[in-house]
Every structure is written in structure tokens, then in C-alpha cells.
Amino acid sequence: MALLSSKEGALIELQECENPAIKRTPPENLRYGHTGFHELGLVCDDIDAFFAKVRAAGYETQTEYVWQCANIGRSFLFYDKDGNMIQMWEHIGGDPTWT
């Protein structure tokens, strides 16, 4: 995994998952009609309250809890009505930049 951040606070996470194992997308689904975002990540404040709202609204979450990523942030993923993954993230310590 690689985390890239700008001085303005933009954050890009690049990862190659091993668990669960990655499955190759069939070539016929790699064309214009099948492309799109697989995951959208958004930063929020008070992630515990946001998690409660998502669960109360009936959305499926990937886990039953908000998980912590080392000492940099807390996160959870849920699925919108079309099945797209949405990751919510809250920075720990308030400073989203790493040097």
C-alpha cells in the first residue's frame, strides 16, 4: 500500500489487496460501458456518528465496526444502492499530511 498526500491535504491511497484475493476483470468488461469507479473515498469528521447514520439508513457495511489504520486514521466501507463501494475516512490527530 502507498499513501500519497499533498500540502493542501489531498490524499490518494494505492493498494493491491491480497485478502480477499483479487480476481481479474474479464476482458469483455474492460471497455467503456463497464468502466468506472470501484471505490470512492471521502473524508469526514465524527466517523462514528456517520457510521451510525449509514447503518440506520439500511446500507450494507463491509464490517460491523469502524476500523483503525495504524495511527493515521479510522475508516469503514459501505455499499450504495448500485453496489459501489464508498470508503469513509477520518484522520487521527487532525493533520492529514505526512512527511
The yes/no answer on whether domain 2-91 falls in CATH 3.30.720.110 is: yes
Q: What is the rounded distance in angstroms from the CA atom of residue 18 to the CA atom of residue 20?
A: 6
Higher pLDDT, 12 or 72: 72
Backbone angles phi, psi at 34, to 5 degrees: -115, 0
Q: What's residue 25's pLDDT?
A: 73
Summarize pLDDT for 35-59 with one digit per residue, the tens: 655 678 889 999 999 999 999 999 9
Cα four-point dihedral sign 34, 37, 76, 14? positive
Task: State the pTM of this model.
Answer: 0.65
Q: What is the rounded distance in angstroms from the CA atom of residue 48 to the CA atom of residue 54?
A: 10
Low-confidence winner among 12-16, 44-48, 78-82 (lowest mean pLDDT): 12-16
